[in-house]
Chains A and B, each alone.
Chain A
Amino acid sequence: MIPANPERTSMIEAHNLTKAYGNVTVLNIPQLTIGEGESFGLVGNNGAGKTTFFSLIVDIIKAASGSIYSRGKDVKMSDHWKAYTGAYLDESFLVDFLTPEEYFGFIGSLHGFAHEAMRTRVQTYADFFGGEILGKKKFIRELSKGNQKKVGIVGALLPEPATVILDEPFPHLDPSSVIRLKRILRELHDKGVTLLISSHDLNHVTEVCERIVVLEKGIIVNDKETNENTLKELEQYFAVHAD
């Protein structure tokens, strides 16, 4: 693993970021920087603000105040980040009336890939799909939740983005697929891709990420590099909150 390096250029930066629904502030991040090539894990209970934070990064919801910068530019002022960011947050990132092949083709053509090149790229994920997705003549809406998630994740990875944002990628996947996904993510990390992953599963996220941030009611309560004790510490932290 690449050690965390404070000198690293920043990929994502949040400044004075808040998000509120009515009078309730659901996210308040005064300052957070995620470096290029970092693998960043976001954990927290339901309602901690994980999805809100990721949604703000990809500019599908509007912040109450503050900004998010991707490679130094405000994400809501320009579209530059769309060229190098792959995200899968929920089903609204799928086009459910397409077949998986058509969906990948659509994403490929948005990024200007030739059909053949796209097909070869999709084939590299054949293992991850486990023979259930390609060539089945099914619409995405006919697939199981787990298989839909696989299609969405691969859709985000196909254009070979520099930043990958995945919200809860592990639930619904079968055990083998979880292992394969973790392998894929570690390979991406080795290639220098910036990873942002949120998860309820402390085990998976500490395995994949070199930095773990704990959100609680919209506030960062913990931010540390992963080491052999991290899992235990996190488990303790959440055990206290369960009592």
Chain B
Amino acid sequence: MTLWLFQHQWKSIRRSGDFQTKVAANIIFGLLMLLVALEFLLLGFFLDRILSRNLPPGSDSVDLVDGVLIFYFGIDFVLRLVFQKLRSITARQYVLQRVSRKEIAHFVLVKTLGTAVNFLPLFILIPFFFTGVLRIHPFLASIAWLVSILSLLLFNTYLANYSKMRFFTNPIKTLLAAGVLVAVVLLEQFQVLTFTSFSALLFGSVLHHPFLVFAPLLASAALYGINVRFLLDHLYLEDLVAGGKAKSFREHFPLLSGFGEIGTLISLDLKLMLRNKRARISLWMPFVMVFYGLLFYRMDHFNDGSAFMEFMLMFVGTFITGFFIMSYGLTTFCYESRHFGLILTNRIDMFTYLKARYYFMLLVTTLVYVLSLFYIYFGMRVFVVNSLMYLFNIGCSTFYFLYLSTFNKSKFDLSGSVFSTQGKGTNQFVAIFVLMTVVAVPFLTFQWLIGGKAGFIGLGVLGVLGFIFHNQILALLMKQFERRKYIMSEGFRQS
């Protein structure tokens, strides 16, 4: 393996324009990950004890784990289809260099392994191996069991990678795969087919016949080989061009063209989002996030009126209608990083330019709000809170995220992975965290000083004020934009 390929990767991170902000964000993200890892570690240590409490007769905790492993790997595979990044794009600049294609292929495949989905399970698996498997089974058999699970993780990684390169090139097919998984779970649920016993038999047999460990080992090695062969055939520049082709896009927005320059600018942004994989998520995610409330409103103690639950109600309400503002608002300028020169030098009035951004957020947020009206089913309280938070979003969150987006100066790779954190991701997380912390202050002040619904009403009033004075606030934002535009344009120029 060529070491310098990995050194380049590190340099590209180290030398990117927003390295420092990324480090700050990554520290917070890393702490969260550490927390999850700790929890997994604890779960791993006590898993044997937890499972041993009520065992069916004639079985042990390892049998139970074996029984669910097939589902674990099923879910794991579907998640990988969605989240796992195709790394072949990163090889683009090396294809023309004097590096053998084989080395590049190995590099791409090793890089694919670097994902949390591969590391986090180990925090449960390894402690459980010591406290559970070794307690029940002989040493050699236990090792075989561990190795076969590890090699199945590899198997899944490369099966997902291959499927993504080969078959699952669009989200609909991925949805189909998820559908198959749901069907499997349903079949199990209604006892039509029992995959549990099949899974227990499959993984249990390794414990009884340790030599069977060679089956998953060889299978994952073979799959690695298949991946290498596929990459060798497809590491050509024309295969590595990212993004869709024009033939499949034909949208016009005649409605928008009636709104003059603002309409023109909004329709440009709409096209940007429809035609670039990574930006597309900002467009459909808000409509999925509407249903976020369902997770909370069905809880029993959600209506207990405690200060914490009131705060959660506010939080959920902000999210239901505010997700578009949070993702588009925060990345609005760096989405345009690739044509920022045109934006700055063409005949675009910068105030109108900012206004278009605001109206676009207003438009989508309002659509989402209309969609969210079904929550009235959960009572007037939820409806009123969500409406007030909608007002808060259009009058306050919009400007907050637009302001923050002027600090985002890293070039945005629109064709990259949907879930890449480059240019947003962790930053977005920090921004939302700060927003919620800042909002908590007036909310809780109103709530404690006046009581009742004062916190919600206060935020709603702030929102209405923001909306009424949006021209004045946008004028202030324009000053900020004018101050930052050179820094942004210089940052966007660095690739």
- In the complex, the answer to whether A90 meets B341 with C-beta atoms within 8 Å is yes
- In the complex, the answer to whether A110 meets B344 with C-beta atoms within 8 Å is no
B11 close to A (CB within 8 Å): no
- In the complex, the answer to whether A95 meets B268 with C-beta atoms within 8 Å is yes
CA distance A91 to B495 in the complex (A): 12
A-B contact pairs, 28 of them (CB 8 A): A58-B345, A59-B345, A60-B344, A60-B486, A61-B486, A61-B489, A79-B350, A82-B348, A85-B345, A89-B341, A90-B341, A92-B337, A92-B338, A92-B339, A92-B341, A92-B493, A93-B345, A95-B339, A97-B272, A106-B264, A107-B346, A110-B264, A110-B347, A110-B348, A137-B247, A138-B246, A139-B246, A159-B347
Q: What 12 additional pairs, Cβ within 8 angstroms, besides A60-B340, A60-B489? A: A58-B341, A61-B489, A79-B350, A82-B345, A90-B341, A92-B342, A93-B341, A98-B268, A99-B246, A110-B264, A139-B244, A142-B246
The proximity string for A residues 40-68 relative to B, scoring 1 for CB distances below 8 Å and 0 otherwise, is 00000000000000000011111000000
Closest Cβ of chain A to B456, distance in Å, is 41
Residues in B neighbouring A236, C-beta threshold 8 A: none
The proximity string for A residues 72-92 relative to B, scoring 1 for CB distances below 8 Å and 0 otherwise, is 000000010011010101111
Residues in A neighbouring B245, C-beta threshold 8 A: 138-139, 142
B414 close to A (CB within 8 Å): yes
Q: Is the interface of B mostly helix, strand, loop or mixed?
A: helix
With A62-B486, A97-B414 as known contacts, state yes or no: A111 contacts B339, CB within 8 Å.
Answer: no
B452 close to A (CB within 8 Å): no
The proximity string for A residues 135-162 relative to B, scoring 1 for CB distances below 8 Å and 0 otherwise, is 0011101100000000000000001000
Which of B337, B344, B348, B414: most chain A CB closer than 10 A? B344
Residues in A neighbouring B347, C-beta threshold 8 A: 82-83, 110-111, 159
The proximity string for B residues 335-365 relative to A, scoring 1 for CB distances below 8 Å and 0 otherwise, is 0011111101111111000000000000000
A94 close to B (CB within 8 Å): yes
CA distance A96 to B413 in the complex (A): 12
Residues in A neighbouring B275, C-beta threshold 8 A: 97, 139
Residues in A neighbouring B261, C-beta threshold 8 A: 109-110
Interface positions of B from 227 to 261, Cβ below 8 Å from A: 241, 243-247, 249, 257, 261
CA distance A98 to B348 in the complex (A): 18
Residues in B neighbouring A62, C-beta threshold 8 A: 486
- In the complex, the answer to whether B492 meets A92 with C-beta atoms within 8 Å is yes
Residues in A neighbouring B489, C-beta threshold 8 A: 60-61
Q: Is the interface of A mostly helix, strand, loop or mixed?
A: loop
B271 close to A (CB within 8 Å): yes
Residues in B neighbouring A87, C-beta threshold 8 A: 345
The proximity string for B residues 126-152 relative to A, scoring 1 for CB distances below 8 Å and 0 otherwise, is 000000000000000000000000000
Which of B243, B338, B342, B350: most chain A CB closer than 10 A? B342
B490 close to A (CB within 8 Å): yes
Residues of B in contact (CB 8 Å), total 34
Residues in A neighbouring B249, C-beta threshold 8 A: 139
From the candidates A61, A82, A110, name the one contacting B490 in the complex (CB within 8 A).
A61
Residues in B neighbouring A96, C-beta threshold 8 A: 338-339
Residues in A neighbouring B339, C-beta threshold 8 A: 92-96
Which of B241, B337, B339, B489: most chain A CB closer than 10 A? B339
Closest Cβ of chain B to A143, distance in Å, is 10
Residue of B nearest to A102 (CB): B271
Closest Cβ of chain A to B471, distance in Å, is 18
- In the complex, the answer to whether A79 meets B268 with C-beta atoms within 8 Å is no
